[in-house]
Structure 1
Amino acid sequence: MAFFYLNQYITLPLEDAKGVNWIFLPAGIRIFITLILDYSGALGLAIASLLINYIGFYELDFTSALGIAVICGVAPLLGRHFVIHNLKVQADLSNLSLKQLLLIILAYSLLSSGLHQLWFAARGLDSGSWNHFIAMFCGDVAGSILFVAVIKYSIDLVKGRLGRENLIE
């Protein structure tokens, strides 16, 4: 939740509509959490999203907030399972390549932005449109790639300081 609000503060000038950002860093966290924690991660994301949307950020009716929460939990989970089942990635992610990670990001971004915009349009919310789909898709891709790059750089930095080839020895 805190990262969502931090993203809103940092990227407010890049917001296309309320909740539709050209750079959305929490998208990377959503992917990361579901990659590591699978279903429990998706549940945690859905709960956090429900709290963000029902209590604070949007102040939507419960049905609209619940739909957004389900999308926030399910979209990265579907992206994860799509890659694991179709690209033969092991469940523990030990053979996950950069190409497969990029496919997860693209699958997640398409699912997330598409499902969000369909839900927004179905609920009559201001953000539901083709233009907002493009902005949200680009924001999810950009935010995910930035987040993954920061994680990768941080791991390399720690490995270098420890003088190791791997973090776990």
Structure 2
Amino acid sequence: MASVLQVAGVAALWFVLFSLNDWAFGYLDQAHVISWVFLPAALRLLGVLLFGRWAALGLFLGALATNGTAFGHSMAQSVSVAALSGLGALGALHLTTRILQVPPTLRGLTAGRLAVFAVVGALCNVIPHNLFFWAVGLQPNPFVGLVPMFIGDLAGIVIVLYGLRGVLLLIERRMRVRTP
């Protein structure tokens, strides 16, 4: 039951972050598939850190729900892009935890290691997506979207992480004020 809630929660959060991103940063989109700020990238990072493969499934379902008309009427392209969202995040988790020797409990995950994971996660997302967009003719070459998508993923991760940090600090302050 917990895995169903994890999948559903990640998918729902993807939808919320995607909608918020479209509202706040939609004007920064390059083409219809790349954004200079992409808030859901943070969910890729945090979701797989917390829930592993269940988060990857939630990322897939959330991306599938938000692909909309970005790929015309091609269900195959929509499913492929959704799969890349989940699989790239999962690949980044496995690669980074091995390189940094972070155990599955995430003990020892420092801010520096989290930053490395964010960069590896962005690369594991950006490279396959851009190769796919080029292969199906959505981009003229595989390099045109690398920089904007990489910056967009990192910007989204930073915005969400600092936003969460701010919320946690506010909660902590309120808890201290209420404690006699």
The TM-score, its normalising length taken from structure 2, stands at: 0.83
* Contact 1:52–1:58 under 8 Å retained in 2: no
- Consecutive unaligned residues in structure 1, runs of 5 or more: 165-169
Using a 3 Å threshold, how does the CA distance of structure 1 residues 59 and 152 change in structure 2: closer, same or farther?
same
> Of residues 61, 74, 79 in structure 1, which corresponds to 2:92?
79
CA drift of 1:59 comes to 3.6
Q: Distance in 2 between matches of 1:123 and 1:4?
A: 23
CA drift of 1:102 comes to 0.5
Counterpart of 2:77 in structure 1 is 64
- Consecutive unaligned residues in structure 2, runs of 5 or more: 1-14
Q: Kindly indicate whether residue 94 of structure 2 is the aligned counterpart of residue 104 of structure 1.
A: no
* Contact 2:71–2:77 under 8 Å retained in 1: no
* Contact 1:121–1:128 under 8 Å retained in 2: yes
Q: Distance in 2 between matches of 1:127 and 1:73?
A: 25
Question: Aligned pair count?
Answer: 163
* Contact 2:21–2:38 under 8 Å retained in 1: yes
Identity of aligned residues (%): 26
Q: Distance in 2 between matches of 1:121 and 1:139?
A: 18
Residue by residue, what CA displacement relative to the aligned partner does 1:15-36 show, whole Å, maximum 9, x if unpaired?
1221211111110112111111
**Displaced runs of 4+ in structure 1, greater than 6 A?**
none
Counterpart of 1:25 in structure 2 is 39
CA drift of 1:57 comes to 4.5
Let me know the Cα RMSD of the aligned residues: 1.8
The one-letter amino acid of 2:62's match is A
Using a 3 Å threshold, how does the CA distance of structure 1 residues 80 and 133 change in structure 2: closer, same or farther?
same
Using a 3 Å threshold, how does the CA distance of structure 1 residues 5 and 60 change in structure 2: closer, same or farther?
farther
Using a 3 Å threshold, how does the CA distance of structure 1 residues 156 and 127 change in structure 2: closer, same or farther?
farther
Alignment of 1:1-150 (within 5 A): 1-53=15-67, 55-126=68-139, 129-150=142-163
